[in-house]
Amino acid sequence: MDEARLEFDSMYAAIAGSRVYRQVTHRAFPDLPEWLIPYSVSPSLVLLERIAQSLNIEPDSSFVDLACGMGGPGLWVSERTGASLVGIDFSAAAISAATKLARQRGIARATFVNAEATGTGLPKKSFDGLMSIDAIQFMDARSVATEIARILRPGGIVALTTMEALVDDLPVATVAKDYRAVFKATGFSICDYEQLADSFESDNALFESIDLYRDALVEEIGEAATPMLEEARDRLERAKAPPRVRKIFLVAQLQ
């Protein structure tokens, strides 16, 4: 985990102010506002709007963005709904970038905390909703669902995207085959569940854009670009083979 944290810290610190990476992301996601810079996730405005509506939050509500990265998607939902936001990420560099972005956007109701998603340290039964994009597949499924249940108020809603395993031998062993069963077992009822059939086109658009700009990224941010470039090449190569995972959209309510 420490090695992964250091790798993400290095990457977030490098891309937070990267002119080239902004070109990369907005080539892949032209509908996103210019200030929203995702890393290794594919949040379209359609998806963000769907999350905002599913959470059913208002200006007097509070919600969590779990594994928030540099904060853009959660801040967009906060701006859209008026609700207060707490972003959680294990990367200190991501939290620093997210805090700076919230300040630039003038969103005083947003705070960001450097913590593990399975042990946030947030007070129990304190939030009306929780969002997460393309992240919980890297965590122990039962542990993260239990932590989400702990911090949500009764009736609180979680809206997320994640990967589900279609095979038994994935290199990432934490990917569950059925997140509906995981959340049901931790006290949630399932409100919405859908396989996002076109999601890999969006993902591949990001990795194709990274690959296209690889020389410019290396020139601008140096060795910090290596993990991102390797991931892009790997994901594009895997896209040629039969799918081993599926991306799903899940909405669940705590009973």
Residue 3's pLDDT is what?
Answer: 75
pLDDT tens-digit profile of 119-157?
999 999 999 999 999 999 999 999 999 999 999 999 999
Q: What is the pLDDT along the chain (255 residues), one digit of tens a residue?
A: 577 788 889 989 999 989 999 999 999 999 999 999 988 788 899 999 999 999 999 999 999 999 999 999 999 999 999 999 999 999 999 999 999 999 999 999 999 999 999 999 999 999 999 999 999 999 999 999 999 999 999 999 999 999 999 999 999 999 999 999 999 999 999 999 999 987 788 889 999 999 999 999 999 999 989 989 999 999 999 899 999 999 999 999 999
- In sequence order, the 6+-apart residues with CB closer than 8 A to the CB of 3 are none
**pTM for the predicted model, two decimal places:** 0.95
The residues facing 240 across adjacent strands are none
- State the alpha helices, DSSP H only, in the chain: 2-15, 19-28, 45-55, 72-81, 92-105, 141-151, 179-185, 199-212, 214-221, 226-238
Q: Say how many CA atoms lie within 13 Å of 165 toward its Cβ.
A: 15
Tokens, residue 122: 């947030």
The fold of the 2-254 domain, in CATH, is Rossmann fold (3.40.50)
| Domain spans, the chain | 2-254
| Residue 202 confidence (pLDDT) | 81
Structure-block tokens of residue 11: 């990457």
Q: Please state, in angstroms and rounded to a whole number, the distance separating the CA atoms of residues 250 and 74.
A: 17
What's residue 1's pLDDT? 55
